[in-house]
Structure 1
Amino acid sequence: MNMFKKSRLISWLVLLLSLIALFLSAWILIPAPTMPLLVLSVGAREVCPWLLVANTIILLTAWLLLRDSGRRLALIASLIGLLICGWELASIAPAQAQMENAMRQELGQDYLNKIPAEALSQMRSTPFAFIDSFRGISQGKTRHLEGVIFNTPAGDDLSMEIYQPPEKGIYPALVVIYGGAWRSGSPKSYPEFNRYMAARGYTVFAIDYRHAPRYRYPAQQEDVLASLNFIRENAAKYEADAERVVLFGRSSGAHLAMLAAYNSNVLPVRGVISYYGPVNLTEGYNNPPRPDPINTRMVLEDFLGGVPQKLPKQYEVASPISYVKNKVAPTLLIYGSQDHVVQAKYGRQIYQGLQKEGNTAVLLEIPWAEHGFDAVFNGVSNQLALYYTERFLAWAVKTGNGL
């Protein structure tokens, strides 16, 4: 009797685990309707190798140990989960090939040969390493200055986090602008990325800006420009080369980075990198994604102070696509094809505009990725994004190819 109860308990446990694993795996395919579910959807896609292993273990356990009615259901659930994960992982090789082709087509077939060998030796050697999904990505030693105040608009201190290579010197500057729908976030976010880049020979300035709805545009852009002024005036103090600067942003931070790169002359920006950044705010308002987990229209109204029908000029001047012209900074655009916050079509839109004006622009799309795909530093999507980001960055500031 005890053995029977134990067997039933194991059967129910395996069945429960198979259903949980299937539920998590399903979010690789399901678009998230709400913000909490968006977090789940992003996470599932980026820890896909973990889910693959979990589904495999559960499948084998059900096959070998179960003999009751729950066996079939557990096998079906884990097999479906396994197939979903397998689809994503099978998509990596063709996606990487397309990315490599896009880089070579725009930067030149020999663009890697122009990057110093020492810089190349510090970069990731492969776009995706399955084992790194489990062991993580080594970041290296850095120096970190916390809470460096660069401006005090309206009595509010704005600060930046500065990450420097381990050895003293003068290094290219990477200005990092966080995302958060212009209403939340911190320069302390994504420290792994900042440490990684600093360890590879960049002085990283992760900056802050004022948030909506308390402060509306152009307050955020003014703060970005203030940070660039601070960097220009204090470059030597913080071991940065003010003549070799690249702007990097995520989501709303990418929007601010593109505005600064295309429509200011505070610093000679050698390149701009946009991870899933909004580019056309009027169209974004009029055609929000379906589903719309962040309530795009409310976010834009809070940021700009109203609707585009009443504030058409405000929406226009706040859109990076309005400033696309000849001889803007070389641009790397990375978007997730499954993004339901900033759809990939906007990346294609500004890419086409940049190309039409004769600018250097690279568009990379990750077929399975959602918004915020780099939230897991050693996740599937970020491994690909990081591989090409560090190569574009070195091409822009270490070869003389940037503006």
Structure 2
Amino acid sequence: MFLKPKIVFSWLVLLLSFASLFLSSWILLPAPNMFLLTLAVGAPEVSPWLLLLNFFSLSLAFFYIRRRKLQRLACIFSLIGLLICAWVLVNIPQTQMQMAKAMKQGLGANYLEQIPAQVTVKMQRHPFDLVNSFRGIALAKTRHQKDIVFASPAGVPLKMEVYQPSEVGKYPAVVVIYGGAWQYGNPHANSEFNQYIAHQGYTVFAIAYRHAPKYRFPVQLDDVRTALNFIRKHAAEYEADPERMVLLGRSAGAHLAMLAAYQPDAPPIRGVVSYYGPVNLTEGYKTPPNPDPINTRAVLKAFLGGSLEELPNQYEIASPINYLTHPLPPTLLIYGSRDHLVEARFGRQMYERLHNSGNTAVFLEIPWAEHAFDAVFNGVSNQLALYYTERFLAWALFKQ
């Protein structure tokens, strides 16, 4: 006996409503493992799309389901999904204002006036553009070189990718260091970001480093420092100004960027940008997040070669927060409130220590964002982060 088409359709709509709610729920739910973390990272960033999906399923349920119980259940699923997605969008204006205030507090009320007009004209005009959420952020033509070997320690070739503006010139340098728990990743990560930043008038160097657990700290820091020396030595070949350089990293890469920039003998660095970077490895080991999808202690053991009890000095040496004993480059810290790999409290702690030690720092927090929120380039969180990142870079490298 076959079911009637209307009944089949009603059940399909109910299934769609549940699926929409399930996807939307990861805007709020913490991911217990790495598989579900992908949903928790992506759901807030595509919330405009999920909002439409929930509205579509609600419309279908309301107008086309004739069975009252099924209709009510489908409508409830869709309405809850709508409210969850709306929470992100409704909070954007307030978050934007808080971020703008933090930038002015950290860099000065008139920091934007210090950036030349020819630089600001290329920047995003608004912190968030709903249209860009659907069509994507426009990327202009740039020059791109791959597989540039900058060193071969122990026979391991370390490569970089270089992104340059389309026109020949001399540009400030932005050195980008990828994340991946110090264990995986490559310089091609976040290529859209690198291309976008290059078009703003920078030479972008995306560098590699050796990975744990085969290679343990401080090998990764040594590789970053080697890359910086190579860039300074060969700056003219890549149309880069070695005296105007910013380090930018994500997660483990942000940790390495801060460590490299904060060394007493570091080359001239105009600024550091940390996207959800670990800053206090000792405290991170003592109090891992809950839930802990990446197994924080296992990651730190692989990176440093043992537990906190076995190697307390290594954890101290590898923590950027312990290097605030001398003047440091201005630092932009961007974290998500819902980050369950590197909690936002560490970014806030770093900001307070930098501020209290007389260093220039800005702390930006995105209420709905998880770790690696910028993996979705046109996502809600990355639009906000990109807007203020490009202003920080321009202030640090072009200010008059």
**Shorter-normalised TM range:** over 0.9
Corresponding residue of 1:50: 49
**2:275 is matched with which residue?**
275
1:19 aligns with 2:9: no
1:278 offset after TM fit, Å? 0.2
Distance 2:195 2:265 in 1: 28
Corresponding residue SS for 1:187: coil
- Partners in 1 of 2:33 and 2:44 — Cα distance? 16
What secondary structure is seen at the aligned counterpart in 2 of 1:258? helix
Instruction: Note if contact 2:212-2:303 (Cα within 8 Å) is conserved in structure 1.
Output: yes
Indicate yes or no: 2:375 matched with 1:375.
yes
Please give the alpha-carbon distance, in whole angstroms, between the structure 1 residues aligned to 2:387 and 2:253: 21
Shift of 1:267: 2.3
Matched to 1:285, the amino acid is Y
Deviations 1:381-401 (A, max 9, x none): 00000000000000000015x
Q: How does 1:146-157 map to 2 (within 5 A)?
A: 146-157=146-157
Q: Note the residue ranges of structure 2 that are not aligned, 5 or more in a row.
A: none
2: distance between equivalents of 1:146 and 1:102? 37
**Cα distance in 2 between the residues matched to 1:13 and 1:118:** 54
CA apart distance, 1:324: 1.3
Partner residue of 1:38? 37
Contact in 1 for aligned 2:275/2:333 (Cα 8 Å) = yes
The letter for the 2-side match of 1:182 is W
In 2, the alpha carbon distance for the partners of 1:226 and 1:142 equals 26
CA shift, 1:234, in A, is 0.1
Superposition pairs for residues 45-124 of structure 1, below 5 Å?
A: 45-68=44-67, 69-124=69-124
TM-score (norm 2): 0.98
Q: Distance in 1 between matches of 2:223 and 2:213?
A: 15
By how many angstroms is 1:265 displaced?
3.5
Shift in Å, 1:45: 1.1
1:315 and 1:378 mapped to 2: Cα distance?
Answer: 36
Letter in 1 for 2:62: W
State the Cα distance separating 1:110 from its structure 2 match: 1.3
**Counterpart code for 1:129:** D
The 3-state SS of whatever aligns with 2:227 is helix
Task: Classify the secondary structure of the residue corresponding to 2:309.
Answer: coil
For 2:346, the equivalent position in structure 1 comes to 346
Question: Partners in 1 of 2:284 and 2:217 — Cα distance?
Answer: 16
* Preserved contact between residue 229 and residue 266 of structure 1 (Cα < 8 Å): no
What is the alpha-carbon distance in structure 2 between the residues aligned to residue 106 and residue 254 of structure 1? 19
Q: Is residue 30–residue 40 contact of structure 2 (8 Å, CA) maintained in 1?
A: yes
Secondary structure at the residue paired with 2:169?
coil
Distance 2:308 2:13 in 1: 53
User: Which residue type is aligned with residue 122 of structure 1?
Assistant: K
Q: Which moved more, 1:71-80 or 1:7-16?
A: 7-16
- Is contact 1:326-1:358 (8 Å) kept? no
Aligned to 1:165: 165
Q: CA deviation at 1:109?
A: 1.2
The aligned counterpart of 1:211 is 211
Q: How far apart are the structure 1 equivalents of 2:75 and 2:342? A: 37
**How far 1:85 sits from its partner (Å)?**
0.3
Deviations 1:276-314 (A, max 9, x none): 000000110010000000000000000000111121111
Partner SS state of residue 334, structure 1: strand
* In structure 2, C-alpha distance between the alignment counterparts of 1:191 and 1:140, rounded to whole Å: 13
Instruction: Note the alpha carbon deviations across 1:95-119, whole angstroms, 9 max, x for none.
Output: 1100000001111111111111111
| Aligned-residue offset at 1:327 | 1.6
Measure, in 1, the Cα distance between the counterparts of 2:386 and 2:113.
19
Equivalent residues of 1:245, 1:267 under 8 A apart:
no
Query: Match of 2:86, as an amino acid?
Result: G
CA drift at 1:374: 0.3
Say whether residues 1:398 and 2:398 are aligned partners: yes
In the aligned structure 2, how far is the partner of 1:391 from the partner of 1:44? 27
Post-superposition offset of 1:266: 4.4
Moved over 2 A (4+): 264-267
Partner SS for 2:150: strand
* Cα pair 1:228 1:266 within 8 Å, conserved: no
How far residue 325 of structure 1 moved from its aligned partner, in angstroms, is 2.8
CA deviation map 1:241-289 (0-9, x unaligned): 0000000000000000000111153421000000000000011001000
Structure 1 residue 375, shift from structure 2 partner: 0.5
Task: Report the secondary structure of 2:140's partner residue.
Answer: coil
**What is the total number of aligned residue pairs between the two structures?**
399
- SS at structure 2 position matched to 1:335: strand
* Residue of structure 1 equivalent to 2:195: 195
% identical aligned pairs:
62
Specify every segment of 5 or more residues in structure 1 that has no aligned partner in the other structure, as ranges. none
Asked if structure 1 preserves the Cα contact closer than 8 Å seen for 2:264 and 2:326, the reply is no
The match for 1:229 is: 229
Relative distance call for 1:266 and 1:235 in structure 2 (3 A) is farther
